[in-house]
Amino acid sequence: MQTFLYVHIPFCLRKCRYCDFNSVDDSHVTPAEYIDGVVKEMGLRADRLAGHMSAPTLYFGGGTPSLLEPALVARVIDAAARLFGLEPDAEITLEANPGTLTAELLRGYRTAGVNRLSLGVQSFDDGQLQFLGRVHTAAQTRDALARARSAGFANIGIDLIHSLPGESLARWRSDLAAAVALRPAHISVYGLTIEEGTPLAALEEAGKLEPLSGDASAEMIREAMERLAGAGYGQYEIANFARPGCRSRHNQAYWRRAPYLGFGAGAHSFLREGYGVRWCNAADPSGYLASLAGGSLPDDERQALSREDARAEFMFLGLRMCDGVDTDAFRAEFGEPVEMVWPGTVELLVTAGLLERKGSVLRLTPRALPVANQLFVRFL
Ligand code: SF4
């Protein structure tokens, strides 16, 4: 059974002002102690999950995985190969903060087996980076990218954030132009969302910050679609663009509902048992390690998906991808056609020019992609 692997590294140098990810900047747990726990969890999971497995990808996400020493990354890669059949040509991605990447660290990651970097660039404007609370500057990003290439990384993705309060289309265009000029293999573009409990949310509540409107944000996505297509980046998901052959294999697994195992504090897993089973590990690194020290798996929440949950996921995850969903596969899995489960919905969206049908495939039209999140509720 092919299973995709994820390892969560919950440490950051400093918490960004928009961040509600599971990450801490004041942990008493050391990276070495934490990775001991991750490797222990991998062993316990492998014992529980009988049967041959192969893993086409391993993804170090965070947090800031580039705070790990290469030897710790190598330990996890070795454990993945030994316990979960990490494939010889597996895509091994490490998310990295441009402010943390020395030449030595990069060479170490490459030697450890990492073959893809995902750089949290976010912007090429130092004012925007400061507003977001990032620890790096645009100059550090350019240096980090050059160093990564010198260290042997050819497959490098960068993340950008658009739709900051007050951001103009012209400003966003300059970020897109700067990104394209660096010729990364992959570009992700995410709209800023102001999450509850973050410093940006406090500013909004105090009336000191006004989020950009939905229309302006959709315009920025349209701009990205146009500029990136013109520069040779194919859009394959609502927020993701890649040069030919450079799609993220790992992220596509999530949208296709492929099985994945997440290790580490707060990591999520999904297996195709029944209509699907999900669980999430304890989020706090100390609590996570305490469970493992007691010999237990650190599962916090476990949910068996109902048929209704699985049908909805099939649609709203699958439609995120520009390849769309295969309605024959839907019928084979759930025993009834899409049109019967959501009567009138497909026809309505096709007539409105938001969905298109090609053979058995249904996919969002380019017009629908910038407002995709508003359409998915129709399949809940
Ligand atoms: S680097 Fe990423 S995970 Fe860490 S605080 Fe910033 S946004 Fe959050």
Ligand 1 binding pocket includes 108 (Cβ within 6 Å): no
Question: Which tens digits make up the pLDDT trace of 244-276?
Answer: 999 999 999 999 999 999 999 999 999 999 999
Residue nearest to atom 7 of ligand 1 (CA): 19
pLDDT the model gives residue 249: 98
Strands laid side by side in the 361-364 sheet: 325-326, 361-364, 355-358
Is pLDDT at 50 greater than 80 in this prediction? no
Q: How far is the CA of 16 from the centre of ligand 1 (A)?
A: 5
pLDDT at 60: 98
Cα–ligand 1 centroid distance for 166 (angstroms): 22
pLDDT for residue 380 is more than 90? no
**pLDDT of 51:** 77
Which among 100, 137, 105 has a CA at the least distance from the CA of 122? 137
Question: In the chain, what are the domain boundaries?
Answer: 4-254, 307-379
Q: In the prediction, which pLDDT does 300 show? A: 76
Is 62 near ligand 1, meaning CB less than 6 Å away? Answer: yes
Q: Looking at this protein, which amino acid is placed at residue 323?
A: D
Q: Which atom of ligand 1 is the closest one to the Cα of 23?
A: 3
61 CA to centre of ligand 1 in angstroms: 10
Report, as an integer, the average pLDDT of 289-312.
93
307-379 placed in CATH 1.10.10.10: no
* Closest by CA position to 175, among listed 146, 141, 200: 141
Report how far ligand 1's centroid is from the alpha carbon of 296 (Å): 29
pLDDT at 1: 83
Closest C-alpha residue for ligand 1 atom 2: 63
- Is the CB of 118 inside a 6 Å radius of any atom of ligand 1? no
What pLDDT does residue 301 have? 77
pLDDT > 70 fraction of the chain, expressed in percent and rounded: 100
Q: Specify the CATH superfamily of domain 4-254.
A: Aldolase class I (3.20.20.70)
Ligand 1 within 6 A of CB of 99? no
Question: With 90 as the cut, is the pLDDT of residue 165 above it?
Answer: yes
The torsion defined by the Cα of 45, 47, 48 and 53, in degrees rounded to 10, comes to 80
pLDDT band (50, 70, 90) for residue 302: confident
Per-residue model confidence as pLDDT tens digits over 98-126:
998 999 999 999 999 999 999 999 999 99
Task: State the Cα–Cα distance between residues 94 and 315, nearest whole angstrom.
Answer: 29
pLDDT at 195: 96
Ligand 1 atom at minimum distance from 63 CA: 3
DSSP 220-275: HHHHHHHHHHHTTPEEEETTEEESTT---HHHHHHHTT--EEEESTT-EEEE-STT
Cis peptide before 63, with omega less than 30 degrees from 0? yes
Say if ligand 1 is within 6 A of residue 23 CB.
yes
The answer to whether the CB of 327 is under 6 A from ligand 1 is: no
* pLDDT one-digit tens code per residue, 337-375: 999 999 999 999 999 999 999 999 999 999 999 999 889
**Residue 81's pLDDT band (cuts 50, 70, 90):** very high
Query: 120 alpha carbon to ligand 1 midpoint, in Å?
Result: 9
User: Is residue 95 scored above 80 in pLDDT?
Assistant: yes
Mean pLDDT of the chain: 96
Is 19's C-beta closer than 6 angstroms to any atom of ligand 1? yes
* Per-residue pLDDT at 53: 87
pLDDT at 235: 98
- CA 25 to ligand 1: nearest atom: 5
pLDDT at residue 71, rounded to an integer: 98
Predicted local distance difference test score (pLDDT) of residue 203: 96
